[in-house]
Structure 1
């Protein structure tokens, strides 16, 4: 089997590929990782259906339209074996917030491998191609929700945070007090403003982990008549009626008065549905607003992170104001030879950077360890899990202070 990644100078035989677990699976058959052709939407849909179950009706056209927009942005790759689509993966263009700063992030979704090709190395080869394409498109970070963690850890992703889905009593939200706040109905023309409001809330809170969609994708959601959207000067709410509860897709505001007013909008339907389901940050203000213990956790979905371009990811991230550190750091990434090597990590005035050095000492991290540190995992934890070595306790404490975070997401992709 020959592996070729279109647009890359690398062409290697499968036996030379350290991520190919079964190099003889397609012996004598050519495999190529390249952009999904618009002519192959139906074969790609077939692979998706055989991986996650079929979709039907209007959902098919919505899926094709969404994938086509991604194809237009060169954000969908496929594995072709003997010219046939056997796996696909898509890059969503996001901005992820880290301590008050927005970092471009490649959200990897729609990773599917035809059942008969699983375990053959096709998925790992596809993810390598996705990482290369993410770097080419200028994304310093990548994140995903894993169905299983092992194949993503094999290419450098590590668990970074969670999406916490909870249920709240609708009547409790109805009874939240506060002044009236001017609200208006939102529509597709408000997409850019809604993206701004969501980002402003994350920046204001110095959140770590939440991401924003491109306005074009928000506009498509706003065309759905079943989603009710309300916009204020400093906040936004989107929610819908479910069979047994209200489902809140988005709620964000920078002021207490607006946040209370938006929650009361949802609560005003307490005579219709008694429960609200929403994904919340562990430190969302509503935990401290409501008078009763009426929030119940229903699901926790873990997500994974990878640094695609470590120096760019560090430069884009926010850091604690007033913290000044300068420590040695060594990065070893088998899928990023150019980014591997010895650095000095410098944090000052709420910003950070990596500067090349010849010393080669300090804390040593592979891609999984680097992702975990970026997401605020203490180095003591990483040492006990085998993901960090070198350095000393004082250096660990400084790095922990720089990257301290409680990462979360509220959206799913």
Structure 2
């Protein structure tokens, strides 16, 4: 019987899927059940032969900011195959079904963090951005700024926190437009509870915030981890640093996440932090026309770009497309000269700004004359894509 990817039916599938996820991620079944409850049963998909759940994945509806504009993006997580069914290509089959279904639903993009990049590249995903970890001794925080009032964040404050984050994230290429699943992880993740603090201006506007968790060391001192930090004014950013510096009497190390750099780091007087690459996230263009039209472009650009895309999974994406840009907005249609020949993977890396056209050509993901690459670079110019979240 042909394999199908279906919404999970809890009465039929949930026990088997709990077991599969528990064995895939070495997590206790109780923790898996709690995670599934937080994610929502409706968001799980099951690969089945009609009688047996063979594999599963989680869909996370959200968005992603590129060049200041929010684009709908379907996150994929929790990809797992039952141990007794591994080695038969079920993960790839499941991902192919998942991408075709998401494209049919109208999603422009899909994104994920990969445990094995080979699998996801085989279905059209490509590296598209970074997630770095920063560490700094708390005693080395050299900002002491008392302007702005620090207040604990309550549930009633969360709409204003969301608005502050959206204003911050829209300025950073690749940042998520979070759904509730991601926001829940900002406040509680596994055994960590993150305490929120906001900066209010004299007019009681929320101009910045952070969420921190404390971990006690054997000697009684503590490390701090931030699940999130965002601000809309430099005054608020410095006040948040001052709040963190106030933990120095008992604090040792501060850890948080972002891109190759983070706006908060630029507010420090001295750069005494360490940076470590933790993850490279991947992107898949599911609907070429919608994705090209949803993205923002340089406002001064008025030009056409002719693409010839190879996509062996989603037929509607395969072939020639012409992108016309005017005053920062793009319109796309099938046809054109096909000057830039590229794979679905190459398009994903180009789209996010992870690779320039010349770099994609160097890696064999794009084929075009150098002058055509120069021309295309003007369309996809963007700051380095990154996100602080993990999903």
- Equivalent position of 1:13 in the other structure: none
SS of equivalent residue, structure 1 residue 386: coil
- Alignment partners' CA distance in 2, 1:114 and 1:407: 34
- Equivalent position of 1:284 in the other structure: 262
Aligned pair partner of 1:269 in 221, 224, 247:
247
Asked if structure 2 preserves the Cα contact closer than 8 Å seen for 1:208 and 1:407, the reply is: yes
- Alignment partners' CA distance in 2, 1:355 and 1:81: 38
Q: CA RMSD in A?
A: 2.1
- Alignment partners' CA distance in 1, 2:93 and 2:156: 40
- Equivalent position of 1:55 in the other structure: 28
SS of equivalent residue, structure 1 residue 269: coil
Asked if structure 2 preserves the Cα contact closer than 8 Å seen for 1:188 and 1:222, the reply is: no
Number of aligned residue pairs: give it. Answer: 375
- Equivalent position of 1:144 in the other structure: 112
Aligned pair partner of 1:110 in 58, 78, 91:
78
Shift of 1:370: 0.8
TM-score, scaled to structure 2? 0.89
Shift of 1:208: 1.1
- Equivalent position of 2:380 in the other structure: 403
- Alignment partners' CA distance in 1, 2:287 and 2:122: 18
| 1:130 partnered with 2:98 | yes
- Equivalent position of 1:210 in the other structure: 175
223 and 374 in structure 1: CA distance in 2 versus 1, 3 angstrom threshold: closer
Asked if structure 2 preserves the Cα contact closer than 8 Å seen for 1:191 and 1:216, the reply is: no
192 and 310 in structure 1: CA distance in 2 versus 1, 3 angstrom threshold: farther
Asked if structure 1 preserves the Cα contact closer than 8 Å seen for 2:209 and 2:231, the reply is: yes
- Alignment partners' CA distance in 2, 1:250 and 1:378: 29
Shift of 1:271: 1.5
| 1:43 partnered with 2:20 | no
182 and 349 in structure 1: CA distance in 2 versus 1, 3 angstrom threshold: farther
Shift of 1:81: 3.5
Shift of 1:213: 1.9
- Equivalent position of 1:241 in the other structure: 214
Runs of 5+ unmatched residues, structure 2: 200-205, 218-222
Which deviations, in whole Å up to 9, do the C-alpha atoms of 1:22-48 show, x marking residues without a partner? xxxxxxxxx332111122222111111
Asked if structure 2 preserves the Cα contact closer than 8 Å seen for 1:142 and 1:306, the reply is: yes
Asked if structure 1 preserves the Cα contact closer than 8 Å seen for 2:20 and 2:55, the reply is: yes
SS of equivalent residue, structure 2 residue 175: strand
Q: Which has the higher contact order (CA 8 A, sep 6+)?
A: 2
- Equivalent position of 2:158 in the other structure: 191
- Alignment partners' CA distance in 2, 1:369 and 1:46: 36
| 1:171 partnered with 2:139 | yes
- Equivalent position of 2:5 in the other structure: 33
- Alignment partners' CA distance in 2, 1:51 and 1:308: 27
Runs of 5+ unmatched residues, structure 1: 4-30
Aligned pair partner of 2:322 in 304, 326, 344:
344
Asked if structure 2 preserves the Cα contact closer than 8 Å seen for 1:77 and 1:129, the reply is: no
Matches within 5 A, 1:80-119: 80-81=48-49, 83-119=51-87
179 and 243 in structure 1: CA distance in 2 versus 1, 3 angstrom threshold: closer
- Alignment partners' CA distance in 1, 2:15 and 2:293: 41
Which deviations, in whole Å up to 9, do the C-alpha atoms of 1:1-41 show, x marking residues without a partner? x43xxxxxxxxxxxxxxxxxxxxxxxxxxx33211112222
Shift of 1:136: 4.1
Asked if structure 1 preserves the Cα contact closer than 8 Å seen for 2:130 and 2:277, the reply is: no
Shift of 1:329: 1.0
Asked if structure 2 preserves the Cα contact closer than 8 Å seen for 1:187 and 1:219, the reply is: no
Which deviations, in whole Å up to 9, do the C-alpha atoms of 1:157-215 show, x marking residues without a partner? 00111100110121233x31335113322233333332222111122x2x211103224
Asked if structure 1 preserves the Cα contact closer than 8 Å seen for 2:59 and 2:74, the reply is: yes
Which deviations, in whole Å up to 9, do the C-alpha atoms of 1:331-369 show, x marking residues without a partner? 221222123221212222222232222x44310122111
- Alignment partners' CA distance in 2, 1:87 and 1:192: 37
- Alignment partners' CA distance in 1, 2:28 and 2:297: 43
- Equivalent position of 2:305 in the other structure: 327
- Alignment partners' CA distance in 2, 1:202 and 1:321: 20
SS of equivalent residue, structure 1 residue 318: coil
